Amino acid sequence: MIELTRGQELALTAQDGAPLTRVQLGVGWDKVPTAGFIGSGAPDIDLDASAVQFAGGQLFDLAFYNNLRTRDGSVVHLGDNTTGRGEGDDEVLTVDLTKVYGKVDAIVLFVSSYQGHTLEWIANAYCRLVDENDVELARLRLTGGVPETGLVLAKVFRDGDGWRLRAIGEGIAVKVPSESVAALRPYL
């Protein structure tokens, strides 16, 4: 497993160099124990993992809590966690790289706070990439008190006949995926 930092890239290949065909993106988080107003219980933090497909810089499709799969069936959102409670991945997106429509050249992965909390309210946040055998390939820790309501995690993009992942880890001001397209374009 590789601990990625912003800007680092990783070829999506198996140990033998063969291109990966399926990957899974897991996102996990906890709320900051002191989040909330003095004397009140800390509210749950509803982060939403989303994937936006682009073709030549234009929106092609997206998968998120309210649209669980892209039209080409390549990206599937496995369900919405509205609290971040529990161990392990809180939300998961699967990507079948063999099904991605031919004109799609980038898939941008991000999280956003549905209720509009800044990401300063979360702790122990991460994004991890696993292969079809559930082997963790890479992890990006999402700490540091991001003052925006969204965070661009990574970009999966075509590289010849294969795919690469670039870690991004940059804050953006979005709450819902439908607001994200303009904010994501600079990362293409």
Parallel, antiparallel, or unpaired: how do β-strands 106-113 and 47-55 relate? antiparallel
DSSP class per residue in 4-54: --TT-EEE-B-TTSPBPSEEEEEEEEEE-TT-SSTTSPPPP--EEEEEEEE
> What percentage of the chain carries pLDDT values higher than 70?
85
In Å, the largest CA–CA distance within the chain is 56
pLDDT tens digit sequence for 132-165: 888 888 888 766 567 888 888 899 999 998 999 9
What is the model's pLDDT at position 80?
A: 60
Residues, the chain: 188
**Range 28-41 average pLDDT:** 60
pLDDT score recorded for residue 114:
79
What is the structure's pLDDT at 1? 54
pLDDT in tens, 61-119: 999 988 999 999 999 998 665 444 556 677 899 999 999 999 999 999 998 887 787 77
The domain limits of the chain are: 2-187
CATH for 2-187 is 2.60.60.30
Q: Distance (Å, rounded) from C-alpha 45 to C-alpha 23? A: 26
CA–CA dist 147, 74 (Å, integer): 32
Residue with the two structure tokens 């709450």: 175
Whole-number average pLDDT of the chain: 84
